[in-house]
């Protein structure tokens, strides 16, 4: 599917869209953290709505798929949240426009997209319904949603056809873009650390209650379920496994090829169809003995052309193997007639056959055997648990069963939402590993029933038993007072810090620092102020107006003084490269106006305050 959709359009938006989808396939199942439930819409067009919970869920899917798993704060600062909002906004507007114009996607487009996706094919390359459904399930998708994504891509291709054929751009446009990229700004700034928590006057209950009343909808807890589970992994059985030296020795001897590195030889090689040239070359080589120089003189071949590097026996023509592997360093072999022609070799160096000794392999083999035998015991115990379930035992009875040597622990979990979010009694939320996978399972089974075995990453398995369902409700003030107080203090620290900063600036008690060349591509403002969002905001500021920006650690006052364009040379190569880049991702030029037009036409409603409040009430640490 992904390859097919890429062929349909090369837009910036849909490249980002595909990246998010790929990350989703890789990351779904590691657990979500979406914060307090909120069903109010951040974006809406007609009856299509995108809630803050959906956006934060998508943010978590993306950040969990990133190599270093950034925190929510880090992901937001790096612009990931903005990308996701843009993706949703453009998606609902494109679909709204397609609906208005009565566009449709032929069945063969959907079929082609599905049938061409490798993830849905079996080892023989044929479409597999099982793999198709499993891949969608792993991505947190269903067939309907998946087809909607294919349709959105196809709609966009139809809508963008008039501008997608554009291949070149006016030089003035290219020049303007380069000037924009090379703009640097001079600023004055002053950073004030946020005041200490102990400087904040403890609020009375009326103020806290008022704060709660303002944000209580953000603490709303959706329908949740209580459940218990048994988790089984190979390491649970390590203590039961005894591995003696005899078994390790037998394994080493039977798998000796795994511990053997075959002999390799580094070679120069020349192939010619003319036997006379081949003989003349070897004759001169006996006098000159410089294979590289003669190859250049006689055949116009460079050292790079003749150097084939290290090769093993099976990588050579069978006619040459014996002579080459019987030879010594610097020996010249040939000419030898092969199916490629008359071949001449020179042996440059030899890596002899190497066998890792039993002693050096001992620890590795022991770990291998431990893993294999642990996995065998794991599968046997899974079978035993399934037998006990069939006999009507609950999880507590299974955990205490003599059949399982009473070795497993039953864990109880309360208030897990259908999104895989765990709601705690103090008003905060918590991420649990594989939360969405577990939620998908317990939402399919009746109360007190035990699920089929759930397969998790790293050969880990789980059985869950649903206990009860909890109705949707909003915690009362007393239940979450502690969390309300913490949130209030965090906000109040920054509010009061900003007031102090404004006061001392007004009284001329601040000595601003000056930065001359702030560039758009800077990662941070200074070594101490590492907030990428500040850079973005600097390039939106008006001249000579003081702007106050709250950060996690304090408040910064910034005044934009002036800007200039760094010196650059507009070369023809640069114009050609930019034109090539534009033609590959034309939507980069048109997306803003295109979406603005669609947004106005379809009267999109945006309420980012809901999202900001939602995020501010998450525990982001």
Residue 33: which residues within 8 A CB-CB, separation 6 or more?
A: 56, 60, 72, 421, 429, 430, 431, 618
Please state the rounded mean pLDDT for residues 402-413: 84
Helix (H, G, I), strand (E, B) or coil at 339: coil
pLDDT band at 464 (very low <50, low <70, confident <90, very high): very high
pLDDT value at residue 29: 32
pLDDT value at residue 328: 92
pLDDT band at 227 (very low <50, low <70, confident <90, very high): very high
Whether 19 shows a pLDDT value over 70: the answer reads: no
The whole-chain average pLDDT of the chain stands at 82
DSSP secondary structure string for all residues of 64-93: HTSTT---HHHHHHTTHHHHHHHHHHHHHH
Q: What's the pLDDT tens digit per position in 164-179?
A: 555 555 667 677 778 8
pLDDT value at residue 39: 63
DSSP secondary structure string for all residues of 482-540: HHHHHHHHHHHHHHHHHHHHHHHHHTT----EEEEEEETT-S-SSSS---HHHHHHHTT
Whether 5 shows a pLDDT value over 50: the answer reads: no
Q: What's the pLDDT tens digit per position in 108-167?
A: 787 888 888 887 876 666 777 777 777 777 676 777 888 888 888 888 777 766 555 555
Q: What's the pLDDT tens digit per position in 249-271?
A: 999 988 888 888 889 999 999 98
Question: What would the 3-class secondary structure string for 6-64 be?
Answer: HHHCCCHHHHHHHHHHHHHHHHCCCCCCCCCCCCCEEEEECCEEEEHHHHHHHHHHHHH
Quickly tell me which residue has 């928590």 as its tokens.
197
pLDDT value at residue 161: 65
- Threshold 0.75, pTM exceeds: no
Most confident of 185-189, 297-301, 613-617: 185-189
What domains appear along the chain, each with residue ranges and CATH number?
A: 2-166+586-616 (no CATH), 183-220+478-567 (no CATH), 224-243+361-470 (3.10.50), 263-352 (3.10.50.40)
**How far, in Å, CA of 614 to CA of 456, rounded?**
31
Q: What's the pLDDT tens digit per position in 304-358?
A: 889 989 998 888 888 999 999 999 999 999 899 988 889 999 999 999 989 989 9
**CA separation, residue 449 to residues 54, 217, 442, 456 (Å):** 30, 33, 9, 20
């Amino acid at each position: 599917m992904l390859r097919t959709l890429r062929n349909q359009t090369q837009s910036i938006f849909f490249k980002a869209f595909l990246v998010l989808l790929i990350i989703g396939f890789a990351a779904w199942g590691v657990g979500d953290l979406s914060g307090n439930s909120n069903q109010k819409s951040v974006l809406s067009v007609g009856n299509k709505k995108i809630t803050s919970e959906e956006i934060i869920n998508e943010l978590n899917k993306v950040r969990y798929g990133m190599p270093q798993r950034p925190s929510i704060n880090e992901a937001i600062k790096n612009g990931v949240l903005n990308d996701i909002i843009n993706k949703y906004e453009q998606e609902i507007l494109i679909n709204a426009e397609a609906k208005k114009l009565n566009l449709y996607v032929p069945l063969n487009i959907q079929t082609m997209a599905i049938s061409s996706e490798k993830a849905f094919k079996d080892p023989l390359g044929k479409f597999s319904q099982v793999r198709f459904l499993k891949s969608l399930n792993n991505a947190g998708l269903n067939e309907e949603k998946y087809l909607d994504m294919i349709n959105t891509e196809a709609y966009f291709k139809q809508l963008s056809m008039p501008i997608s054929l554009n291949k070149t751009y006016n030089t003035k446009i290219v020049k303007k873009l380069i000037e924009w990229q090379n703009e640097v700004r001079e600023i004055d700034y002053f950073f004030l650390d946020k005041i200490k928590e102990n400087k904040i006057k403890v609020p009375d209950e009326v103020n806290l209650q008022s704060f709660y009343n303002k944000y209580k909808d953000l603490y709303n807890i959706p329908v949740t379920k209580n459940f218990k589970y048994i988790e089984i992994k190979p390491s649970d059985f390590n203590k039961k496994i005894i591995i003696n030296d005899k078994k390790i020795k037998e394994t080493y001897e039977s798998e000796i090829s795994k511990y053997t590195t075959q002999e390799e030889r580094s070679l120069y090689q020349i192939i010619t169809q003319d036997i006379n040239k081949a003989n003349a070359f070897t004759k001169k080589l006996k006098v000159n003995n410089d294979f590289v120089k003669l190859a250049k003189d006689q055949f116009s071949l460079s050292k790079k052309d003749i150097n084939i590097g290290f090769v093993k026996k099976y990588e050579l023509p069978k006619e040459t193997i014996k002579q080459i592997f019987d030879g010594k360093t610097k020996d010249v072999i040939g000419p030898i007639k092969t199916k490629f022609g008359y071949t001449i070799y020179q042996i440059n160096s030899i890596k002899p056959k190497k066998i890792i000794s039993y002693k050096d392999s001992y620890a590795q083999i022991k770990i291998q055997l431990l893993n294999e035998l642990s996995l065998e015991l794991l599968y046997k115990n899974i079978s035993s648990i399934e037998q006990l379930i069939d006999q009507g035992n609950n999880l507590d009875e299974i955990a205490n069963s003599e059949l399982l040597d009473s070795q497993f622990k039953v864990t109880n979990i309360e208030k897990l939402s259908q999104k895989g979010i765990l709601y705690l009694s103090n008003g905060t939320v918590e991420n649990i590993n594989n939360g969405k996978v577990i939620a998908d399972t317990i939402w399919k089974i009746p109360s007190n029933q035990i699920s089929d075995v759930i397969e998790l990453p790293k050969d880990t398995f789980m059985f869950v038993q649903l206990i009860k369902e909890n109705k949707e409700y909003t915690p009362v003030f007393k239940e979450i007072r502690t969390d309300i107080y913490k949130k209030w203090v965090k906000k109040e620290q920054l509010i009061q810090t900003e007031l102090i900063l404004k006061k001392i600036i007004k009284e001329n008690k601040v000595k601003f620092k000056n930065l001359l060349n702030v560039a758009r591509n800077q990662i941070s403002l200074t070594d101490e102020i590492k907030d990428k969002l500040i850079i973005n905001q600097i390039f939106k500021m008006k001249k000579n107006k003081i702007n106050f920006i709250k950060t996690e650690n304090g408040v910064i006052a910034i005044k934009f003084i002036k800007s200039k364009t760094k010196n650059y040379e507009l070369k023809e190569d640069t114009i050609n490269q930019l034109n090539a880049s534009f033609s590959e991702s034309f939507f980069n030029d048109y997306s803003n106006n295109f979406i603005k037009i669609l947004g106005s036409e379809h009267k999109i409603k945006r309420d980012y305050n809901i999202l900001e409040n939602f995020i501010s009430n998450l525990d982001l640490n």
